[in-house]
Amino acid sequence: MDVTLQLTSYPGLDERITILRVGDEVDVVLVQTERFNILVDTLATPALCRQALDLLAEKMGRRPLLVINSHMDWDHFWGNAAFDHSVPIIAHAAAVNRLRDPAAQQLLAEKKQELRFQAVELVAPNITFDGETMALHGGDLTLELIHTPGHTPDHIAVWVPEIRTCLAVDTVEHPIPEVWSSDPADLCALITSLKRIRDLQADYVVLAHGQRADTAVADANLRYFAWLRDRIAGLGEIDIDVVDLAGLGGVRLQDLVAVPEDMPAETRAFYERCHRSNLAAVLAAHKAGIEFILDDSHG
């Protein structure tokens, strides 16, 4: 895994937004406002996060720093320990439940076999909100934190209306996002969140994976789920498990989305797993007779 850190941006993206890219692992974002700097996500290790802060020092100047944890997936928040306890770290209230789950410590114990994760400790956010939105008023820019569950229960996206820019993090993903579980409720939540981001009609939809800020990706993700639903519905009354289904012509990943030829094998295997999770959820929704995409998302 390439973990070289670099600062980058997209053509035309407002200069107050800076993307920090760690190879293919994750992109995190710094937003500079008149009143404060906001770092959206803290990378996968405290060491990487400290490196990021060094690279950003000049941009941040003397303004105070606020941190947002978009969700409690390791690649987005394991850098939290890089911050002094006085730094506000904001997340959705559901993030705290995820951290309390023994699975959080279990994953850390497993990943500590890799040298670069040995200094990681799980640091919880210290400001949480429980509703659908929260706003940070930076003066020139407003950051609206929007609860967008479905990929994970605690996921938040960030909307900056003044510059029509959405930091979608993992709700929108190229080539496909991944649903939290096979429970149709999580699938419905993800579809609702994708629509919510699409309906912002942003000029930029910045992703955390896939290295793009393309507004067409949310629509493409919705189409993928609509096709998946239609193909599974077309199979009729099936008694097939998800492993067999994933290999069936017409519902394989490459039948539904264009997978780049040069995608590394490891990345491809990752998205195959995401596809199987999505397939399991769509299959469960089909069997339960749950309609999860309204027809407006076909277009």
Number of residues that bind Zn ion (CB under 5 A): 3
Among candidates 210, 66, 219, 42, which has minimal Cα distance to 136?
66
Residue (154 or 170) nearer to Zn ion, CB: 170
**∠ CA 177-181-187 to the nearest 5 degrees?**
60
Which range of residues in 43-51, 62-70, 71-79, 214-222 is near Zn ion by CB under 5 A? 71-79
Q: For residue 235, give both structure tokens.
A: 């199979």
Which among 88, 17, 77 has a CA at the least distance from the CA of 49? 77
Dist CA 111 CA 13 (whole Å): 35
Is 170 a binding residue for Zn ion by CB under 5 A? The answer is: yes
Give the residue at shortest CB distance from Zn ion: 170
Nearer to Zn ion, 125 or 138 (CB): 125
Q: How far is the CB of 127 from Zn ion (least distance, A)?
A: 22
Q: In the structure, how many helices (H) and strands (E) does the chain have?
A: 9, 12
27 binds Zn ion (CB under 5 A): no
Residue 14 or 73 having the CB closest to Zn ion = 73
**What's the min distance (Å) between Cβ of 290 and Zn ion?**
26
Least CB distance to Zn ion at residue 25 (A): 9
Residue 189 or 285: the one with the smaller Cβ distance to Zn ion is 189
Measure the CA–CA gap between 212 and 174, rounded to whole angstroms.
Answer: 8
| CB-facing half-sphere around the CA of 12: CA atoms within 13 A | 10
Residues in 196-255 that interact with Zn ion by CB under 5 A = none
Q: Kindly list the residues in this chain that would bind Zn ion in the complex (CB under 5 A).
A: 73, 75, 170
